[in-house]
């Protein structure tokens, strides 16, 4: 199993603190299974590209748990929102 670089994890934490202040999107778990797939994420985050979704799918299962979605949501807030 590949190791996640510490600087990447630190970046996620830093992004989390920035986006929390900006107002994050609620966890869009439409079927209450504890995960968000790409279609759920895209409904909540308009214009989201699959490649960006996949960057935050840290375990590669095609689904985001709450922690992974928080990272994606923070990234989206910083990169996509003002497009």
- 11-20: pLDDT as tens digits: 555 555 444 4
> Would you state the structure tokens that stand for residue 73, as one six-digit string?
């949501």
- 18-76: pLDDT as tens digits: 444 445 678 888 888 999 999 999 999 999 999 999 999 999 999 999 999 999 998 99
Answer yes or no: are the C-beta atoms of 12 and 74 closer than 8 Å. Answer: yes
**What pLDDT score does 26 carry?**
84
Report which of 77, 67, 74 is spatially closest to residue 36, judged by C-alpha positions.
Answer: 67
């Amino acid at each position: 199993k590949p190791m996640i670089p510490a600087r990447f994890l630190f970046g996620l934490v830093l992004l989390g603190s920035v986006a929390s202040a900006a107002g994050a999107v609620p966890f869009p778990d439409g079927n209450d299974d504890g995960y968000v797939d790409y279609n759920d994420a895209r409904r909540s985050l308009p214009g989201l590209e699959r490649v960006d979704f996949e960057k935050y799918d840290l375990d590669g299962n095609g689904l985001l748990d709450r922690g992974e979605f928080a990272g994606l949501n923070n990234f989206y807030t910083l990169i996509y929102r003002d497009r």
